[in-house]
Amino acid sequence: YSDADLDWRDDSSRVTRERDDQSLRDIVLSQVTPDAFEEYETVFVGYPVWWQMAAWPVNRFVRDNDFVRKTVIPFCTSTSSSMGSTRQTLEQLAGSGEWLDGQRFGENPQDGMVEDWVESLNI
């Protein structure tokens, strides 16, 4: 997504068109399943919040991978919105995995905040 694609103030930008037409939100990924995905026990799923939704490019990753026996830890960034229902929506889309509550960060979190959070998880 270019800066123009992400211009939420522009009625004809890519994100605005995708917001208004759900059929445009099924975004093809260059790689759906990371290499050696079956070897991972914990998966972090990070995304920005777009109009109170998880940015939809993450949907195929969540929908098309198998999270059975994995712990899934969602986290998001936003200007002001909370995680809201984004976590539950992604968990339903995935249909598998042990989804933790996750964490919301502001737009530009400092490294220390992220590190403190990761350490608090005791993984």
Q: How far is the CB of 48 from ligand FMN (least distance, A)?
A: 3
Cβ proximity to ligand FMN, 59 vs 78, nearer residue: 78
Which residue of 12, 80, 120, 122 would you call a contact of ligand FMN, by CB under 6 A? 80
- R_g (Cα) of the chain, nearest Å: 15
Query: Binders of ligand FMN: how many residues, by CB under 6 A?
Result: 14
Which residue of 51, 69, 116, 121 would you call a contact of ligand FMN, by CB under 6 A? 51
Cα 21 versus chain centre, distance: 19
Alpha-carbon span 32 to 104, nearest angstrom:
24
**CB count in 10 Å sphere of residue 11:** 9
Alpha-carbon span 27 to 18, nearest angstrom:
10
Our finding on whether 48 is near ligand FMN (CB under 6 A) is yes
The site for ligand FMN (CB under 6 A) is made up of 6, 8, 15, 48-52, 77-81, 107
